[in-house]
Chain A
Amino acid sequence: MKKIFNIIICFLPIAAFSQNIDRSKAPVPGKAPIIQVANPVKFTLANGLKVYVVKNTKLPRVIAQLSFDVDGFKEGDKAGLAEMAGQLAKRGTTTKSKEQLDEAVEYLGGSLSTSSTSAVAISLKSNFPTLFGLLSEVVLHPALNAEELEKVRKQTISGIESNKDDADAIANNVVKKLVYGANHPFGEIMTTKTVNAIKAEDVKSFIGDYWKPNIASLIFVGDIEPADAKKLAEKYFGAWQKGTVPVQQFEKSARPAKTYIAVVDRPSSVQSVVTIATPLQLVKGAPNDIPANVMNNILGGGFSGRLFANLREKHGFTYGAYSSLETNKYVGIFKAEASVRNEKTDSSIQETLAEINTIRSVKVDDGELSRMKNYLAGGFARSLENPTTIAGFALNIEKYNLPADYYQKYLTNLASVSALQVQEAATSLLQPSQMHIVVVGDAKQVAKGLEKYGEVKYFDIEGNEIAAPKEVKVDASLTLDVLINKTVEAMGGKASIEKIKDVQLNGKVGVMGQSIDVVQKIIQPGSAVMLMSMGGMVISKQAVVDGKYEVSQQGMQAPITDDLKEGLDESSYLVPELMYQQKGYKLAIVGMEQVEGKDAIDVEITAPSGKKSHRFYDKETYLLVKTTKVEKGPQGPVTQQQYYKNYQKVDGVAFAKEAVMDLGQFKMNLNFETIKVNQGLKLEDLK
């Protein structure tokens, strides 16, 4: 039998050559598939919990998803509360520790996750009833204990800290604050301060106030009979008490009166993150919802959008340029975004605005329109492979009060979108004269010339407006020699400095919530050691003692490069300004910059190896206030900055009692508690 089968197979290809194919062009697609969007079975429990069941027996698996309709919870000075509550919910219940709960879930081969507005459980059909019981335990009786809260807090804060140097994360925060407004829940920004203000009681009251059956939807998707789902829902969630959920009032976000530029200065940027954004009154299911989606995709949807074609393929300003459009029942948002080379910041804004103007003023041609419809229809069809898509449809119908056949009719409605509707969506939603244009980048390089688009304002990384950096020129009479002399004077004068033979500084560094002891010893000239230790264990050592160099971390020796040697040598001088010229360093005054709100003179230092760094001297006091240098980092060059503050004199010489090392991805604050000079340190004390 099998043999015959094979023979038949072998014949087939030959017969098939008679079928003509034309290789020279892409085949014509077949008839559009008839897409059936199943209607879920729906029922409501007595406590108001709405239940949907999407039966799909393709896999012997069931997914249960509980969602709370909490849109717009204002957190104020506790921003981050909802997010942390969501993370904490699955870290133990009143009867099971986190460890016991994790084990119980995974013993079932399942998974269970929570967020501020949802709880999801997935497992094979056979274990699902047991897992569903655990899901209800997590939702109804979460432990929310203080110890686990501290772990979540620690992780959240390290996330915030590492985002402080991430241009995309900064842009994201500032855009939402400006577009939605600081008083709108969508415009709130989580900071270390707000996260530290959150207490276990706050989390308990959030869960207690908002996790209520009357604002929840429970969806079952997978290999489960609606009758069985109903039994489970009633058994585990039937006794859940309904309650009044607080309703908050907040202002509607409005467009700005006039287009303006919001610059967030990030001096180390080599690219600007440019976002052009506006709030939208666009609700899913509104007549212009589908045309608006088509319009957005023509403008900036993926690789086939106009922004990509213009900014990347035609001009090469960027690796990618896209637009997005989010609908929401309170307020939606439109954004056009790109990360562009510094010098193309202005041109990118110009081209993006030009594309917005074009889609408003010129009707899209039929070819482009039908291509985009194919793209969206294909994506819609593919999304149905995942059965949770159907569940998502059911949720949207409920949340946005859509007609029950909204998704059944989606493709027909998409096909009927006209060029005129696309244009109308653009003219009604996108107003080029009322846009927020947010630029996160090196203001010194990119801000110039942007006034032509509107008033240029400056903001900090948390979206608070700040004064524009003043451009101050260096006084032409200030020569390098004068500056060096003044600095040396400010530090205590050459005589006093040279009287100091040795010095020992003891201090502490705070980094990511941990404390590290620092000891720095210097014997002038030429020998110095810096030790960092934690709980008595040395974790880092760098030393130059009598011409011998050593750098180690956690007991491991690092290779000694010329760069390192130079840096170590420099560290063995209290005031390296005294030695620069004789050691062959080249210095040049290159400009003026604001350092923490004060003018400082920027001096470029070129070491004999060619390595460049900058030192900034306060314009009034001539004390060193900042140093910078560029190091190779994981995402390209990173500018490392160190700030010096709180100078105090010891034996006539000024020492900075505080230093802040900004290493790009995180900051360390170093505070010196004691400074002892001329104790008679010997070289062996440095070993």
Chain B
Amino acid sequence: MKKQFFLSCLLLFIGATAFGQSIQFEKYVLPNGLKVILHEDHSAPVVAVTALYHVGSKNEDTARTGFAHFFEHLLFEGSENIKRGEFDKYVTNAGGALNANTSQDRTFYYELLPSNQVELGLWLESERMMHAKIEQVGVNTQREVVKEEKRQRMDNRPYGSFLNEMLKRAFKVHPYKWSPIGSMEHLNAAKLEEFIQFYKTYYVPNNCVLSIAGDFNKAELKEKIAAYFGSIPKGTIAINRPNIKEPALGGEVRDIIYDNIQLPGVFQAYRAPKQGGDEYYAFNVLSTILSGGESSRMNKSLVDKKQQAAAAQSVPFFNEDEGLLIALAIANVGVKIETLEQSMDSVTDQLKKELVSEREFQKVKNQITSELVSSKATMAGIAESLANNEVYFGDANLINTELEKYNKVTREDVLNVAKKYLNKDNRVVLYYLPKQKSASK
């Protein structure tokens, strides 16, 4: 026993030094407020040009939900110098790839390019920030695309509505009560001027981090960044940053959703602290104990041993403000949904009753260490991580220090967050059941 503990410490120690390679970067601010982060790395002839705007669905007007995500589509429509429908062609013709995504807190755009095309990335992102085309024709087109996306991702996908259903029950006052896809009615009702206003408010250099990683010459690149972005004027409209404290849930919320599915599912969401604090790191450790890999507790107990679940998972859903820990399981054929929920509860109850064993705790930390290393495997991953850390915590360098935060987490911390948060009066439980298919003669 003692020997094993010694071995664990040794492993941990090795892990930490092995991890010690730090990501070098330079951070500076242009006079117009644009934050720039550059990580120069010549190991492969590639570059990731990314722009993170600090606007997500939580910044939206309650009568105009879905705006932030809608912009993620609209801003591929073109600009004064880029014709409609050509934005992505420039990138694909250069052998690159591009995309964007929107969360409740931010919107993120990226181009992955061969390194001799880095300037193309600067041109595209500066055009997008400077004078994107916000026109009725583009609004109409993208509205249809977003509706298709909603149909495909939420309405037509089994259990696809669960996040929406969960959020509206887990949050009563905070704008996290709606998801980024928002309301189609709101998008239909919005006038062109409102879209223009949103663009002028949030798509400004002082609300953006331009994060670039890869094979470039930093001195030359800085000149080019200044040339492409320096003349874009600073935003002047006040940015809405909601400061709303969500009250405690005040009792378990339960509901049933009927969906086009074959197998019933249980979705449990526990209210959780916001990202970045000590409890946040303990929570991520806890989530990995629950469902990190084949040997995790949910997989071993629900899927392998009891064979009650076809799939089981825990999903940490952390944000700038309060988050959720979601545990879900899809029932095997013929398994009663109540039985499945009881088994899920016994897994979480155990976390509240007993300290995790040293061996299991070490396993989970080793898994997290591996994940942190792997997240630095691509230039895109590094650029995004630097930008996220800068925007959320004002500390791009967290990319190099995050492991220390995990190393500080103790087994007692995990027990404490489990006791504090994994309680019935702090959770929403949804049963997903198949819509009746009458098999009448």
Q: Are B123 and A385 in contact (CB under 8 A)?
A: no
Q: Are B116 and A124 in contact (CB under 8 A)?
A: no
Q: Which of B116, B226, B295, B369 contacts A16 (CB 8 A)?
A: B226
Q: Does A478 contact B (CB under 8 A)?
A: no
Q: Does B127 contact A (CB under 8 A)?
A: yes
**Chain A 104-129, CB within 8 Å of chain B: the 1/0 string?**
01111111000000000001111100
State which of A198-206, A249-257, A467-475, A550-558 sits at the interface with chain B: A550-558
Q: Which of A27, A551, A631 contacts B119 (CB 8 A)?
A: A27
State which of A71-79, A580-588, A633-641 sits at the interface with chain B: A633-641
Q: Are B363 and A378 in contact (CB under 8 A)?
A: no
Contacts of A635 in B (CB 8 A): 156
Q: Which of A124, A558, A661 contacts B370 (CB 8 A)?
A: A124
A30-B118 contact in complex given A376-B95, A379-B95, C-beta closer than 8 Å: yes
Residue of A nearest to B292 (CB): A106
Instruction: Say how far A307's CB is from chain B's closest CB, in angstroms.
Output: 15
Instruction: Say how far A194's CB is from chain B's closest CB, in angstroms.
Output: 23
Q: Does B191 contact A (CB under 8 A)?
A: no
A378-B373 contact in complex given A21-B227, A512-B333, A635-B156, C-beta closer than 8 Å: no
* Cβ < 8 Å to B, chain A residues 623-667: 631-636, 640, 642, 659, 661, 663, 665-666
Q: Does A516 contact B (CB under 8 A)?
A: yes
Contacts of A632 in B (CB 8 A): 260
Interface of B is mostly: mixed
State which of B342-350, B385-393, B433-441 sits at the interface with chain A: B433-441
Q: Does B376 contact A (CB under 8 A)?
A: yes
Q: Are B295 and A99 in contact (CB under 8 A)?
A: yes
A17-B363 contact in complex given A385-B46, A556-B431, A568-B438, C-beta closer than 8 Å: no
With an 8 Å Cβ cutoff, the count of chain B residues facing the other chain is: 92
State which of B62-70, B84-92, B132-140, B274-282 sits at the interface with chain A: B84-92
A106-B435 contact in complex given A126-B14, A375-B95, C-beta closer than 8 Å: no
Contacts of A369 in B (CB 8 A): none
* Cβ < 8 Å to B, chain A residues 369-388: 371, 374-382, 384-386
Across chains A and B, the number of contacting residue pairs, with CB separation under 8 Å, is 247
Q: Does B401 contact A (CB under 8 A)?
A: no
Q: Does B207 contact A (CB under 8 A)?
A: no
Residue of A nearest to B362 (CB): A107
* Cα A102 to Cα B292 with chains together (Å): 11
Q: Does B378 contact A (CB under 8 A)?
A: yes
Q: Are B93 and A554 in contact (CB under 8 A)?
A: no
Q: Does B367 contact A (CB under 8 A)?
A: yes
Contacts of A423 in B (CB 8 A): none
* Cα A126 to Cα B19 with chains together (Å): 10
Q: Does A33 contact B (CB under 8 A)?
A: yes
User: Nearest 3 A-B pairs (CB), nearest first?
Assistant: A378-B95, A109-B366, A571-B440
Binding site for A on B (CB under 8 A): 11, 14-15, 18-19, 21, 28-31, 43-46, 80-81, 88-90, 92-97, 112-120, 122-123, 126-127, 156-158, 215, 222-224, 226-228, 230-231, 256, 258, 260-262, 264, 292-296, 300, 304, 333-334, 336-338, 359, 362-363, 366-370, 373-374, 376-379, 431, 433-441
Q: List 25 A-B contacts (CB under 8 A).
A: A13-B30, A16-B224, A21-B123, A29-B116, A33-B114, A59-B21, A61-B374, A61-B377, A99-B304, A107-B362, A109-B369, A111-B293, A124-B18, A124-B370, A302-B92, A380-B95, A381-B95, A382-B96, A514-B333, A551-B438, A553-B264, A555-B336, A558-B258, A632-B260, A642-B439
Binding site for B on A (CB under 8 A): 6, 9-10, 12-17, 19-21, 23-27, 29-35, 56, 58-61, 98-99, 102-103, 105-111, 123-127, 302-304, 371, 374-382, 384-386, 511-512, 514, 516, 520, 530, 534, 537, 539, 542, 551, 553-556, 558-559, 563-564, 567-568, 570-571, 631-636, 640, 642, 659, 661, 663, 665-666
Please give 19 more A-B residue pairs, beta carbons under 8 A apart, in addition to A16-B222, A375-B93, A381-B115: A12-B223, A17-B226, A34-B45, A126-B15, A375-B94, A381-B45, A381-B114, A382-B46, A382-B96, A385-B46, A386-B378, A520-B441, A537-B336, A542-B436, A542-B440, A558-B435, A633-B260, A634-B156, A634-B260
